[in-house]
Amino acid sequence: MGAMVRRLEFDNLLSRHMRGRAGHALALLAIGLVLAGCGAAPTPMPTPAPTPTPAGEVLILAIGDSLTEGLGVGDEETYPAQLEAALRAAGHAVRVVNAGVSGETSSGTLQRIDWLLQQQPDVVILAIGGNDGLRGIDPALTEQNIAALVTRIQASGAVVVLPGMEMVRNLGSEFVSDFRAIYPRVAEESGALLMPFFLEGVAGDRTLNQPDFIHPTGAGYAAVVANLLPYVEQAIQQAQAR
């Protein structure tokens, strides 16, 4: 019951937050579309040089949006940094690379995934899709993108951990239901390791979130890591068995 109450509080607060910013966001979107149409071709990303990984060390690539990047918290409080510390404390020789980008959508991740995979990770945590939902992008397109991402990552030889995302209820019951179904369906079809909800026990808890009530605090990310840890340990075992 406590988790349900916190989830409802999260929905209500985020709904108010979104309504208050809706006009501003639409204006910025319109300006962005105009600029995108008038601008020059995007500058190609430089090819990343794979960072040498000591023998026996597992490289984990954390891909995602602001929840991965750690918007609003210090570098050591982000979930990738806390996850690396927790895994090392548990005796795992690992390095976790934070590849989160604030504002990222599944389409944006799809555009840069081949570049990211040049790091040659053993495990990839793919925590993406939240911004798709908040922008009202068709869940069918989001699912298509996430499925394609998982396919490319697995083709590179990495094990995928896929945290599920949830949407606020003011987007409509059909949209919320369709969005929620993306992650278990992709995981079942691909064999990716599904973490049911990335913000389980964190969303809706005022003590674990920043004032925007969207992004966790350092303590909130510690709770995320505690929930995520067994899935990542399972992925490490799979990667080492290959």
Give 128: exposed, middle or buried? Use CB within 10 Å, 0-12, 13-18, 19+: buried
| Residue entry with tokens 């806390």 | 82
Active-site residue identified among 15, 17, 66, 107: 66
Q: Which of 79, 67, 70 is nearest to 105 (CA)?
A: 67
Active site residue 205: no
Pairs from 106-114 (Cβ < 8 Å, separation ≥ 24): 106/132, 106/137, 106/141, 106/142, 106/145, 106/146, 106/149, 107/132, 107/141, 107/145, 109/63, 109/145, 109/149, 110/145, 110/148, 110/149, 112/45, 113/63, 113/149, 113/152, 113/153, 114/152
Active site residue 215: yes
Active-site residue identified among 114, 138, 177, 212: 212
Q: Cβ(96)–Cβ(62) under 8 Å? A: yes
Active site residue 138: no
Query: Among all residues, which ones are annotated catalytic?
Result: 66, 212, 215
